[in-house]
């Protein structure tokens, strides 16, 4: 279950000097050598991104032009490219002409990637952009409008004052054929209006990579509004402290700023955790993991020491222990979690006495799932060879060992009867019943009764298994 780590460039991975610090380059290079799958997603072209991110060679193809192009940075090969239809280009040209707006037109002209612009109609913001890219072979100054719109277009950028561009944004954002972003340039007064085909986004490009390479998790980093779609499809997302407020509200957590190497520091500090969640061999004695286990163990004990009528106290403990879960659940207790934060309960779940969840790997429990007494969900995997399993001692006296983990998923509406053990790597389909005393070592499909050690399907659950009269079947259900 590998994880793909994706970072925006400007304002996120790059510092205020539009470059990567030595620390960031060294950290990412070291982690990639240790198995991290990393790439960046940017509005820049590969020519531009390659210069500012010099020294960094992502292990996964990069996302360019906010998702219009996906390219292998090592070979320069384009894996996927999305452009405007002729009709869409003509619609946009009419809009630009009507308000006397001359955009930067990104297109393939005679088979070559070009950025066309009318040289005599450049404002201060455009001149700044062009000066920063002096010598770029893509730049194509033209004399008139017909020349400007030659080629196969895939991206438009309008640079200028907010007051002039805002009305265009208001019109185009309502058109379902286009994806439009409007934001102020980082560290500059001018605004950028960027127009792409509706299917183009960082999010769609990342989902393409996820399917292509078989990634199970996405962890993303960003700073701006054009990173919102990327955050929405991520399993975890982190906004740098210098980022937009709207992005911070969506983020799993706000991390250090781009100038403080926020992304590199987070990756370095959380690397063993991410190895654990990705199913890779990880160091159990890692400080972050040890601290989180101790917290979960303490919160589990605090919960077990409460009485059932202490509802507010119980809810407060679960809110801290299970921050990613619905609060509309009932856990009888005693309970025991190794981390809690890596377990997700859907609403309407119930667990009887002695629920144990060792959530070194992600545990996802759907809605309306019932657990009988003494159920265990165990994601950790110890080495089979004895001497690889033994505890080890660091030079400072700390004890540690090596493990892996595999995720567990329990679908909506399942009933897991008493004394059931679910092993790592198992998915149980929705509305399935697992009989008492079962040991589930392999996937179980949806809608069946299964039991045994090892657990096997006995039969399908059918309408003949209903016992409630139709008059009360759906009464008062939540």
d(CA 235, CA 106): 32
Residues 6+ apart with CB under 8 A from 69: 46, 63, 78, 80, 81, 82, 154
Q: Is residue 275 within 8 Å of 269, Cβ to Cβ?
A: no
Fill in the DSSP letter of residue 121. G
Q: Which residues of 53-65 are buried (b: 16+ CB within 10 A; e: fewer)?
A: beebebbbbbbbb
Scan for tokens 């940017």, then name that residue. Answer: 42
Name beta bridge partners: 355. 335
Q: Which residues of 102-131 are buried (b: 16+ CB within 10 A; e: fewer)?
A: bbbbbbebeeebbbbbbeeebeebbebbbe
Which listed residue (270, 297, 328, 382) is catalytic? 382
d(CA 307, CA 370): 21
328 is catalytic: no
- The candidate with the shortest Cα–Cα distance to 165, out of 143, 142, 184, 188, is 184
Q: Is residue 449 within 8 Å of 433, Cβ to Cβ?
A: yes
Q: Is residue 61 within 8 Å of 209, Cβ to Cβ?
A: yes
Scan for tokens 């003494």, then name that residue. Answer: 374
The two tokens of residue 217 are 């998790």
d(CA 79, CA 72): 7
> Which run of H or E residues covers position 363?
strand 363-365
Q: Is residue 37 within 8 Å of 6, Cβ to Cβ?
A: no
State the catalytic residues.
382
């Amino acid at each position: 279950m590998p994880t793909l780590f994706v970072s925006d460039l400007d304002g996120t991975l790059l510092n205020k000097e539009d470059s990567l610090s030595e620390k960031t380059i060294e950290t990412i290079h070291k982690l990639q050598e240790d198995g991290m799958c990393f790439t960046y997603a940017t509005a820049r072209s590969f020519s531009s991104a390659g210069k500012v991110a010099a020294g960094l060679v992502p292990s996964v193809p990069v996302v360019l032009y906010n998702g219009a192009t996906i390219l292998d940075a090592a070979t320069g090969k384009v894996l996927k490219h999305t452009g405007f239809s002729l009709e869409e280009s003509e619609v946009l040209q009419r809009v630009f002409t009507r308000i006397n707006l001359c955009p930067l037109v990104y297109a393939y002209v005679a088979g070559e990637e070009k950025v066309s612009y009318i040289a005599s109609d450049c404002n201060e913001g455009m001149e700044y952009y062009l000066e920063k890219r002096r010598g770029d072979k893509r730049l194509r100054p033209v004399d008139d409008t017909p020349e400007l719109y030659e080629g196969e277009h895939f991206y438009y950028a309008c640079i200028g004052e907010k007051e002039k561009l805002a009305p265009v944004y208001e019109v185009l954002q309502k058109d379902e054929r286009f994806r439009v972003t409007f934001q102020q340039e980082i560290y500059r007064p001018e605004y950028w209006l960027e127009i792409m085909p509706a299917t183009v986004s960082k999010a769609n490009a990342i989902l393409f990579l996820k399917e292509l390479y078989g990634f199970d998790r996405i962890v993303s980093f960003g700073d701006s509004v054009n990173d919102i779609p990327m955050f929405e499809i991520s399993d975890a997302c982190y906004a740098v402290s210098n980022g937009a407020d709207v992005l911070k509200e969506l983020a799993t957590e706000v991390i250090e700023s781009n100038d403080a190497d926020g992304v590199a520091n987070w990756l370095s500090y959380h690397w063993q955790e991410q190895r654990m969640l990705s199913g890779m061999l990880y160091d159990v004695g890692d400080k972050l993991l040890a601290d989180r286990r101790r917290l979960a163990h303490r919160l589990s004990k605090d919960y077990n020491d409460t009485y059932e009528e202490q509802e507010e106290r119980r809810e407060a403990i679960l809110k801290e222990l299970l921050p990613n879960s619905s609060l509309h659940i009932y856990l009888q207790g005693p309970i025991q979690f190794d981390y809690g934060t890596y377990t997700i309960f859907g609403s309407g779940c119930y667990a009887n006495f002695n629920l144990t969840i060792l959530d070194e790997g992600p545990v996802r429990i759907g809605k309306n799932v019932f657990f009988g007494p003494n159920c265990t969900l165990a994601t950790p995997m110890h080495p089979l060879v004895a001497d690889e399993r033994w505890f080890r001692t660091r030079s400072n006296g700390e004890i540690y060992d090596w493990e892996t983990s595999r995720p567990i998923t329990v679908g909506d509406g399942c009933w897991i009867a008493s004394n059931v053990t679910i092993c790592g790597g198992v998915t149980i389909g929705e509305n399935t019943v697992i009989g008492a005393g079962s040991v589930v070592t392999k996937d179980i499909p949806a809608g069946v009764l299964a039991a045994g050690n090892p657990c096997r399907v006995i039969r399908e659950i059918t309408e003949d298994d209903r016992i409630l009269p139709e008059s009360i079947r759906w009464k008062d259900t939540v």
